[in-house]
Amino acid sequence: MKVALGQFAVSREWQENADTCLDLMQRAAEGGADLLVLPEAVLARDNADPDLVVKAAQPLDGPFISQLLAASEHNALTTMMSVHVPAEQHKALNVLVAIHKGKIIAAYEKLHLYDAFAMQESQRVNPGHVIPPLIEVAGMRVGLMTCYDVRFPELARRLALDGAQVLVLPAAWVKGPLKEMHWELLTRARALENTCYMVAVGECGPRNIGHSLVVDPLGVAVANAAESPALLFADLDPERIAYARRVLPVLANRRFERPELK
């Protein structure tokens, strides 16, 4: 599988962000990618107005996703990103969407909300209640996660036991002391302990670190972005997964049952 990582800074204007996503989709398709992963919460953001994520939220049949669906009809690319969707109690849901050939093929509502490091995502977002599905891209099985999910090893392990070979993680990783170290440590750990590829794409800009990366099943970072907008490509090799699981059979050697959502 050839994967593309589209890192950019989200603006407060949803149409500007849609245009950026459309441009990245076109460039990823022209580069021969099978899968494009974009950051978390790409619909709209304003660091001075945190309520914008709720005020600007759109349903999945709204104009933002509709434009991306229309563009996806003309290539074989699968594209993933997270957007805010209106929800009950004057809040939103943080939904990871996968689109392919003009259709939404998966939608995962973020399970773990970022109530940490003086942030309170749950003030504006309701949590999901369903373990994300696996989808198939270019013959490989892909599991879905979103940002803060990476700090919870149970979800990555559950996806790996369900058959995931690749873990995808759109994110908006906030800057702060040791935060870049946490990002790299956690993405490498989730890949290594589950002998999966990890494709983690972070928003860049004044608040978030960027630093998108691809980690292979033995914990090696094989592609890495800095702090500015970028489009990276990487090849994911099923043989590398088979080799890792042969020399490091942690999934076979485990003594615990697969995690269940409480």
Catalytic residue among 21, 109, 121, 147: 147
What is the H or E stretch that residue 252 is in? helix 250-253
Radius of gyration of the chain (CA): 17
Burial 85-96 (b: 16+ CB within 10 A, else e): bebeeebbbbbb
- The torsion angles phi and psi of 243, rounded to 5 degrees, stand at -65, -45
Active site residue 110: yes
Show the tokens assigned to 189.
């750990």
Running DSSP on this structure, what letter comes out for residue 208? B
Active site residue 227: no
Catalytic residue among 21, 110, 121, 203: 110
Active site residue 239: no
Q: Determine the residue type at 127.
A: P
Nearest to 168 by CA among 93, 96, 109, 240: 96
Catalytic residue among 40, 109, 121, 203: 40
Whether residue 5 contacts residue 223, with contact meaning beta carbons closer than 8 Å, is answered with yes
Active site residues: 40, 110, 147
